[in-house]
């Protein structure tokens, strides 16, 4: 694996208002950044574009103040209008090449993969990083496939030239094992969003990924 750009960090916190309803996207982002996260992924499947653009702009402002990166999940047009640092694309979302044409060469494009073949396809299409998983069992999303485990992660990391961000069931307790398997970083949803103290949870994860 080649050394990734500095702008792709070790800890990606995905904001979510379905696994918890105590905090808004901006509040989760602020707590995660205060805890040491430097990559925030804004994820909301239900907001209309106009509302999500406004949310993205507010979140981008607090990320900028902390030197953090804002990546919008799925919504390429929202990322473009809000001038986010990047977009993360699922398998059924806008094709990577199309997103690149719309967003330009400097915007980060991440892509979801659940198999080695999918990860290689994303790399060939021009993704800057691959979000790979789920690594362990997770309650944050419904999954129809079993966890890939550390061995599956290790295989993908060895084959790719771009950074692999592992996701799915990752906590401060197992993050070191995930990085030892070759992942550049980790992405979490419930481990921060649904934690009793999201800032403390982010801080523990940040320490685990920086160790």
Residue range(s) defining the domain that contains residue 64 = 11-210
Q: pLDDT for 1-12, tens place per residue? A: 344 444 899 999
Residue 55: inside a domain, yes or no?
yes
CATH number of the domain that 72 lies in? 3.20.20.70
Please tell me what DSSP assigns to residue 5: P
Residue 156: inside a domain, yes or no?
yes
pLDDT at 2: 40
Residue 6: inside a domain, yes or no?
no
> β-strands 39-42, 69-73: how paired?
parallel
Give the pLDDT mean for 52-74. 96
Residue 85: inside a domain, yes or no?
yes
Please tell me what DSSP assigns to residue 105: T
Place of tokens 């079993």: 146
Beta bridge mates, 131: 112, 165
Spatial distance between the Cα atoms of 75 and 56, rounded to a whole number of angstroms: 11
Q: pLDDT for 65-81, tens place per residue? A: 999 999 999 999 999 99
Q: pLDDT for 115-154, tens place per residue? A: 999 999 999 999 999 999 999 998 776 777 899 999 999 9
In 3D space, the residue among 68, 57, 7, 6 whose CA is nearest the CA of residue 34 turns out to be 68
Length of the chain: 211
What is the tally of structural domains in the chain? 1
């Amino acid at each position: 694996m080649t050394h990734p750009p500095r702008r792709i960090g070790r800890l990606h916190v995905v904001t979510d208002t379905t696994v918890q309803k105590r905090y808004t996207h901006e509040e989760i982002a602020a707590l995660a950044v205060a805890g040491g996260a430097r990559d925030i992924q804004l994820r909301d499947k239900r907001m209309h574009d106009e509302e999500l653009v406004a949310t993205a702009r507010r979140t981008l402002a607090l990320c900028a103040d902390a030197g953090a990166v804002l990546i919008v999940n799925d919504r390429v047009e929202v990322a473009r209008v809000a001038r986010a640092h990047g977009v993360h694309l699922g398998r059924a979302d806008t094709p990577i090449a199309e997103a690149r044409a719309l967003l330009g060469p400097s915007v980060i494009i991440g892509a979801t993969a659940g198999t080695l073949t999918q990860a290689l396809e994303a790399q060939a299409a021009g993704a800057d990083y691959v979000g790979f998983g789920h690594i362990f069992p997770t309650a944050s999303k419904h999954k129809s496939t079993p966890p890939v485990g550390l061995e599956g992660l290790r295989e993908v990391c060895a084959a790719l030239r771009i950074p692999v961000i592992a996701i799915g069931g990752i906590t401060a307790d197992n993050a070191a094992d995930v990085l030892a398997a070759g992942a550049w970083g980790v992405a979490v949803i419930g481990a921060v969003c649904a934690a009793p103290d999201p800032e403390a949870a982010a801080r523990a994860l940040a320490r685990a990924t920086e160790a």
